[in-house]
Structure 1
Amino acid sequence: MSTTKPHHDAESDPELVQSQGDTIIFYPRALNIVWGSDPRYWRLPPDQEKTRAVELVQVSWLEVTGSRENLVAGKTYEIGFKISLTQEAFGWNGSKVYVMAKQGRRGRYTWKRASLDAFTNGNPVEIPQADDKLKIQITPNSDSTIYFGMYEVWSGKWKGGLKIHNAYIREA
Structure 2
Amino acid sequence: MSMVEAILDFNNLPEGCIANVLSFTSPKDVCRLSLVSSTFRSAADSDAVWDRFLPSDYDTLISQSSSFSLPSKKHLYLFLTQKPLLLDDGKKSFQLDKIYGKKCYMLSARALFIVWGDTPRYWRWISLPDARFAEVAELVSVCWLEIRGWINSGMLSPDTLYGAYIVFKPSSAGTYGFDYQSIEVSIGIDGDTQRRTVFLDGERGRRLRYRIVPRRAGFLGTVEAPQLPTPAPAPAPAPTPHLDHQHPKERGDGWLEVELGVFFNDGQEDREVEMAVSEVKSGDWKGGLLVQGIEIRPKLLPLN
Smaller-chain TM-score bracket: 0.7 to 0.9
Q: 1:119 to 1:16 in 2, by over 3 A?
A: farther
Question: Residue type matched to 2:274 in 1?
Answer: Y
- Mapped to 2, the partners of 1:153 and 1:51 lie a distance apart of 29
Q: Secondary structure at the match of 1:109?
A: strand
1:10-21 matches, within 5 Å, as 13-21=88-96
Alignment match, 2:175: 89
Per-residue displacement from partner, 1:39-75 (whole Å, max 9, x unpaired)?
00001247xx953321000001111111011245532
Distance 1:79 1:38, change over 3 A: same
Q: CA offset at residue 100 of structure 1?
A: 1.0
TM-score, normalization by structure 2: 0.45
Unmatched 5+ stretches in structure 1: 1-11
Ranges of 4+ aligned residues in structure 1 off by more than 4 Å: 139-143
Q: Structure 1's 144 and 40: CA in aligned 2 closer, same or farther, altered over 3 A?
A: same
Aligned amino acid, residue 278 of structure 2: Y
Residue in structure 2 matching 1:115, options 199, 203, 227? 199
Range moving further from structure 2, 141-150 or 29-38: 141-150
Q: Which has the higher strand share?
A: 1
C-alpha deviation, 1:92, in angstroms: 0.9
**How does 1:56-135 map onto structure 2 within 5 Å?**
56-69=139-152, 70=154, 71-86=156-171, 87-104=173-190, 107-119=191-203, 124-128=255-259, 134-135=261-262
Instruction: In structure 2, list runs of 5 or more residues that go unmatched.
Output: 1-86, 97-102, 205-249, 300-304
Residue 143 of structure 1 and its aligned partner are, at CA, apart by 5.1
In structure 1, the residue matched to 2:291 is 164
Q: State the number of aligned residues.
A: 153
Q: 1:30 aligns with which of 111, 117, 120?
A: 111
Choose 144-153 or 69-78, whichever is displaced more.
69-78
Q: CA RMSD in A?
A: 2.6
Query: CA 1:125 to 1:88, structure 2 compared with 1: closer, same or farther past 3 Å?
Result: closer
CA separation in 2, counterparts of 1:42 and 1:89? 14
Q: Please give the secondary structure, in 2, of the residue aligned with 1:88.
A: coil
Query: Which of 117, 124, 128 matches 1:43?
Result: 124
Of structures 1 and 2, the one scoring higher in RCO (CA 8 A, sep 6+) is 1
Point out the structure with the larger helix share.
2
- In 1, the alpha carbon distance for the partners of 2:174 and 2:180 equals 17
Q: Evaluate the alpha carbon distance shift between residue 64 and residue 99 of structure 1 in structure 2; reply closer, same or farther with a 3 A threshold.
A: same
